[in-house]
Structure 1
Amino acid sequence: MSILIRKITFLCLTIILVISSLPRIYQAEAAETNHFPNPFKSKVDIRLLGTTDIHTNLSNYDYYQDKEVEDFGLAKTATLIKEARTEESNSFLFDNGDLIQGNPLGDYKAKINPIKPGELHPVFQAMKLLDYDAATVGNHEFNYGLSFLNETLNDAPFPYVNSNVYHVKKGKGKEKQYFQPYKIIKKIVRDERGFPHLLNIGVTGVVTPQITEWDRANLEGKVYTKDIVQSVKETIPKMKRAGADLVIVLAHSGMGTENYTEMDEDATYALTKVKGIDAIISGHNHKLFPGDFSDLPGVNEEKGTINGVPVVMPGNWGNHLGVIDLSLTTSFGHWKVNNVQSELRSVYNSESETNTIADPDILDAIQLSHEQTLEYVRQPVGNTTANIHSYFALIKDDPSIQIVTNAQKWYLEKQLAGTPEEGTPILSAGAPFKAGGRNGANYYTYIPEGTIAIKNVADLYLYPNTVAAIKVTGADIKEWLEMSAGQFNQILPGEEQTQPLINEQFPTYNFDVIDGVTYEIDVTEPAKYDTEGKLINENANRIKGLSYNGSPINLEQNFIVATNNYRASGQFPGVRNQQSVTMYPDENRQVIIDYILEQGTIDPTADNNWTFTSVLNTPNIQFESSIEAKDLLNENSPIQYIGPSNNGFGLYSITIE
């Protein structure tokens, strides 16, 4: 009992001592503000910094074009990070995933010279210099398989969190999450008077549930996913019980809309309605917020909030830094958010003569990997008799797709020789990976006539996909192409007002061209499917004249289509009706290299197996492409250059007749 009395006496004396000293501490402030501040309430400003979708773009270098660039690279983002920290010392830094895959450097360290146990991946060699606090995984983290991912993350210099990926159960027992579901980051922050306070930030992460479809070959039987929103709802109370003063969500998921359904790919908007979230760092779709979603209800562009929650979506490849400022008050260990402000900071401004300088420390840290990657991608594999480009890949049949589909068919013919399927007609599907859009006016393939190197093949085929063959019917081919035709807006015949041809919400990598059949796309018809493959116009019929070997296609005939594991594992209309699927171990990119090596010299000329159905008396159909494309047009081309458009694009018109 005497011990308890002594403790109480000591506590009382301490409180008296603190209170007696307060007038001296606050004297200056009281004189300036004409009021005596609350001695038990402090104001603390903190700053959350976020990167997303780096895709191993560590330096400001385009390995496909083999040149230095100004508009992306973590080395440039690093400069913005350091500047932002000088403005606010109470700062936290997070990464939102899609980090280890996406350019030749990533492929080199995964496939050609893979990291060894205990070796630090180049991305972490760079990021450890920036003192990241935590990160989450993106869907592309799984592209190289779980073994590589585990080896890579084992040596990460900061914690990884994710709450919606689980181990597949083996026998009875409790569900086991694959990653650490959350982390409580404990950091001393200082208030406006310089006094220290302990702030506990709870951070969790989520990834698109579709990883189990997109990377089925790597993940089937090993992991499964749960809904993003429900996973976060279940994790917030756990973080609170663990002492979290604030809750931050790293959402590797696109924005989405008001109409969220369980297991949707894009869930950020839905997360802003979840109680208990103080800030969200989003990504996945390579878009910007604040910036790209002002039409959604509840968006405050000036404050950078959605439904009152501060959100940043900082683009891709390190081209933007997300900045969230939170003004807090703390009293007796309880924290309250009083004001918020979100913004994006770009590494590049086309109208400015002074752009962000790449951080030399980051460049030094990755120099060896950078040089090794350059040596690898510069190796020649063959020659091309003509230029290969993707400037008009959405407008007409295109050489950058033709070479891919030719190589895939060549490969599949070899694989099926001597098998029961040898006589089944082989088709080949390919899509333009680099066709401008959300990745900017320079995001096109261009390979000049002459030598083709590995860097050029990587430019044609960006992803480490593997070849897949699916068996479908002629009717399935029709639905597959109807889905692809969602790339275009509906055009109104006879309308004299300007009509944009391209549906900017439709990802170009879903615009599959199927070679081996011929067809027209009638853009005066409505789209049959939305961008997610959901039926929206049952009677729509954009695909006209679908033929095989010069005759209307037999809707009941079987075909084998060469594609990739991503498409074969997904739920594309037509594809999802597959009778069988065969996954091959060879990468599509390696197949293209092998094809060129065998041919020696290739003719990439497109076979024009698809065209648009005529749209008469409609003069103002327009689209955007690279300004460089204007030099490839002739005087009588149905495509004509109009002039510069927005964000560095060129504006073109097309006559469809």
Structure 2
Amino acid sequence: METNLPEAAVVTLLETSDVHGHFYPTDYRGPEDKPLGLAKLSSIIRKERAGNPSLLLLDNGDLLQGTPFMYHYAKYGGEGIHPAARALKALRYDAAVPGNHEFNYGLDLLRGAIRDSPCPWLSANIVEEESGRPAFGLPYRVFATPEGIRIAVLGVTTHYIPNWEDPAHIRGLAFEDALDAARRWVAYIRGNERPDAVVVCYHGGFERDPATGAATEPLTGENQGYEMCRTLEGVDVLLTGHQHRLLAGEVNGVAIAQPGSAGQAIAKVQLEFGKAEDGGWAIRRKTAEWLPVEESTPADREFLSLFAEDERKTQEWLDQPIGTAEGDLSIPDPFAARQADHAFTEFVNRVQMEVTDAEISCAAIFTNEARGFKERITMRDVVSNYIYPNTLKVVALTGRDIRDALERNARYFALDERTGGLRVSPSYMEPKPQHFNYDMWEGIEYELDISKPEGQRVVKLLRNGAPLDPDAVFEVAMNSYRAGGGGNFDMIQGKPVVREIPTDMTEILADYILERRVIRAACDHNWKVVY
């Protein structure tokens, strides 16, 4: 009896990750069209879909947060189905995985987006605290291609979320170790579903260099991709994210991929199958690559039309003037602004201290795109400089804790042997830029000497002109991410939270400016970096 079934077939996996609300090809700082965003990825997806029925499109998390577009929808009464759910439907996604930033606006918004999505959100290791059941429905799903090939996709998320997130946003949830959960579920899938391939879609990254195996970060458990490739039995593909890296290749026989962030690329993995002796399918070859958005990649206008009214309201809100600046609050050179006290960071710290009534404060210039304030201050200026939905916490730290935190900050810098000056330490640039993990402090006087060995760089530490008592306890205002020890600030993690302000810092800054209307630049030059 003859059959029309093919003897070979190819299954294509496309992965987006860390889109962070970038639907439009813009960074919202200006009108320029940028090579990023889901609308441009849509053009690539359409091309890949053409004539290819054996294709799975997966999102790997951090979709709901990251742009003023998403912030405005979440905070100012966005109407109708969540934009993320609309996007998943329009682009015909097969599954999504929650990322750590999915929780930033609370569980009600997240559950609403999941409820309205046409595809499942797969989460094996985020479970209900009481029952232990997967919190968002399915841990995995098995997809069948027209050729009858069965692809199992398992979703897991970094279990480090409780170290960063507002406890109110994850109440009732438990976060199981991602590696342990993946091991348990892969064994279950292999034993019960008999798939032809197993794909782990992991919102997490690599704790070691994929090529050499050398450790690239402290082994905290935040990222476990390398260990997954090394120890999980029965996994064919590991799709990753969280670190905003561009990766494609193979580790220990497992095809790996990671597509950067903000829609700058899409990951593509192809699995070539042939007929096995038992009549089933067997993988013959795996290839992984990432497809970048080019300057010439067109934005999908049909896709963008679905969000036109939301975008119009966002842009209108961003252009609202809220105050004026007297004096210079601009940041022409972020690297220089991180080497000595600057009027803009002093402003942020002073707001944090005033709002919380704390005696000391620390804050960061989050990215090298931050430009501070010009004379006319708009909402666009606020959200362009303060890009994360952090709240404020006041933490009780000893003088010794503060010194240790400053030593951690001092690792941001390295001596440039070529120029004799300073540069950003490679550990703060790879696997992704981490300018947000360098804080500048107010309420103390200090000096960091980068010519000294790491751990001995705080050469001056005073409060009100006197040496800071290492045993005295001080109330320090900081963002909620740092208060949880985020950025490997172990000396802060677990310290008593004296009080907190459960309002986004962008709102705090905007309200502060709206109330005063005029912000005067000031700088007391309480710290500097030398070398």
Query: How far did 1:261 drift?
Result: 9.0
- 1:384-434 per-position Cα deviation (integer Å, ceiling 9, x unaligned): 132522622433333442221121112123xxxxxxxxxxx6111101211
Q: How many residues align?
A: 512
Change (3 A) 1:262 1:550: closer
Q: Which residue does 1:365 correspond to in 2? A: 306
Q: Partner amino acid for 1:267? A: Q
Is 1:338 paired with 2:284? yes
Question: Is residue 99 from structure 1 mapped to residue 41 from structure 2 by the alignment?
Answer: no
Give 1:307's match in structure 2, choosing from 252, 271, 277. 252
Structure 1 segment 574-593 matched on structure 2, within 5 A:
574-576=491-493, 578-593=495-510
Helix, strand or coil at the partner of 2:50? helix
> Cα offset for 1:469?
0.8
Of the three residues 403, 408, 421, the one matched with 2:352 is 408
Q: Does 1:137 align with 2:98?
A: yes
- Give TM-score scaled by structure 2 length: 0.91
Contact 2:95–2:120 under 8 Å retained in 1 = yes
The residue identity in structure 1 corresponding to 2:257 is V
Deviation at 1:164, TM superposition (A): 1.2
Q: 1:601 to 1:357 in 2, by over 3 A?
A: same
Question: CA 1:445–1:337 in structure 2 vs 1: closer, same or farther (change >3 Å)?
Answer: same
The answer to whether 1:556 aligns with 2:513 is: no
* Residue 509 of structure 1: aligned partner: 436
Conservation of the 8 A alpha-carbon contact between 1:205 and 1:249: yes
Q: How does 1:390-405 map to 2 (within 5 A)?
A: 391-392=334-335, 393-405=337-349
Work out the CA distance in 1 between the residues paired with 2:46 and 2:10.
Answer: 17
Match among 568, 572, 575 for residue 483 of structure 2: 568
2:251 pairs with 1:316: no
Q: Secondary structure at the match of 1:124?
A: helix
TM-score with structure 1 setting the length: 0.74
Aligned to 1:188: 145
Q: Which shifted more, 180-189 or 223-232?
A: 180-189
Contact 1:208 1:265 in 2 (8 A): yes
Task: Quote how far apart the aligned CAs of 1:131 are.
Answer: 0.8
What residue number does 2:196 align with? 245
Which residue does 1:265 correspond to in 2?
Answer: 222
What is the one-letter code of the residue matched to 2:18? D
Trace 1:146-545 onto structure 2 (pairs within 5 A): 146-169=107-130, 175-189=132-146, 197-219=147-169, 221-240=171-190, 241-257=192-208, 258=213, 264-273=221-230, 274-290=232-248, 304-331=249-276, 332-348=278-294, 355-385=296-326, 386-389=328-331, 391-392=334-335, 393-413=337-357, 426-435=359-368, 444-447=369-372, 449-489=374-414, 491=415, 501-506=423-428, 507-527=434-454, 540-545=455-460
Report the residue type matching 1:225 in the other structure: F
Deviation at 1:589, TM superposition (A): 1.5
CA distance in 1, matches of 2:499, 2:384: 26
**2:35–2:264 CA contact under 8 A, matched in 1:** yes
Question: Matches of 1:402 and 1:462 in 2, distance apart?
Answer: 18
1:611 correspondence with 2:509: no
Aligned partners of 2:374 and 2:421: how far apart in 1?
Answer: 35
Work out the CA distance in 1 between the residues paired with 2:499 and 2:70.
27
Change (3 A) 1:247 1:261: farther
Change beyond 3 A, Cα 1:261–1:547: closer
Worse-superposed segment, 463-472 or 576-585: 576-585
Answer with 1 or 2: which has the greater Rg.
1
Point out the more displaced range, 577-586 or 552-561. Answer: 577-586
Question: Measured at CA, do residues 497 and 111 of structure 1 come closer, stay the same or move farther in structure 2, by a change above 3 Å?
Answer: closer
1:464–1:580 CA distance, 2 compared to 1 (3 A)? closer
Gaps of 5+ in 2: 429-433
- Show CA shifts across 1:40-74 (max 9, x none): 971111111010001111011222x1313222110
Native 8 Å contact 2:395 2:476 kept in 1: yes
Match of 2:13 among 38, 48, 55: 48
Specify the SS of the correspondent of 1:432.
coil
> Retained in 2: the 8 A contact 1:568–1:581?
no
Q: What is the CA-CA distance between 1:262 and the residue it aligns to?
A: 7.9
Asked if the contact 2:99/2:203 (under 8 Å) is kept, the reply is yes
Secondary structure at the aligned position of 1:49 is classed as strand
Question: Could you list the per-position Cα deviations for residues 255-289 of structure 1 after superposition, in whole angstroms to 9, with x for gaps in the alignment?
Answer: 11146998611111222122211112111011110
Q: Which amino acid aligns with 1:144?
A: Y
Asked if the contact 1:310–1:342 (Cα under 8 Å) also holds between the matched residues in 2, the reply is yes
Residue identity opposite 1:204 in structure 2: L
1:87 Cα deviation from its structure 2 partner: 6.5
CA distance in structure 2 between the partners assigned to 1:431 and 1:108 by the alignment:
23
Report the CA distance between 1:306 and its aligned residue: 1.9
Distance 1:500 1:345 in 2: 35
Q: Letter of the aligned partner of 1:121 in structure 2?
A: H
The one-letter amino acid of 1:403's match is F
Mark the CA change 1:124 to 1:219 in structure 2 (over 3 Å): closer, same or farther: closer
2:431 aligns to what?
none
Deviates more, 1:374-383 or 1:600-609: 600-609
How far the C-alpha of 1:374 sits from its partner, in A, is: 0.8
CA contact (8 A) 1:161 1:183 kept: yes
Query: What is the identity percentage for the equivalent residue pairs of Structure 1 and Structure 2?
Result: 29
Q: Is the Cα contact below 8 Å between 2:236 and 2:253 reproduced in 1? A: no
In 2, Cα distance between equivalents of 1:360 and 1:384: 38
Deviation at 1:312, TM superposition (A): 1.1
- Inter-CA distance 382–100: structure 2 relative to 1 (3 Å threshold): same
CA distance in 1, matches of 2:396, 2:120: 43
The whole-number CA distance in structure 2 between the counterparts of 1:554 and 1:577 is 21
Q: 1:83 to 1:216 in 2, by over 3 A?
A: same
Q: CA deviation at 1:448?
A: 5.4
Structure of higher RCO (CA pairs closer than 8 Å, 6+ residues apart): 2
State the 1:212 CA deviation. Answer: 1.1
**Structure 1 unmatched runs, 5+:** 1-17, 26-39, 190-196, 291-303, 350-354, 414-424, 436-443, 528-539, 616-657
Matched, 1:79 2:1: no
Deviations 1:527-562 (A, max 9, x none): 3xxxxxxxxxxxx21111111112221222222111
Code of the aligned partner of 2:242: H
Distance in 2 between the 1:185 and 1:523 partners?
54
* Whole-angstrom distance in 2 between the partners of 1:368 and 1:574: 46
State the alpha-carbon separation in 2 of the partners of residues 466 and 496 from structure 1.
40
Quickly say closer, same or farther: Cα 1:500–1:337, change in 2 above 3 A: farther
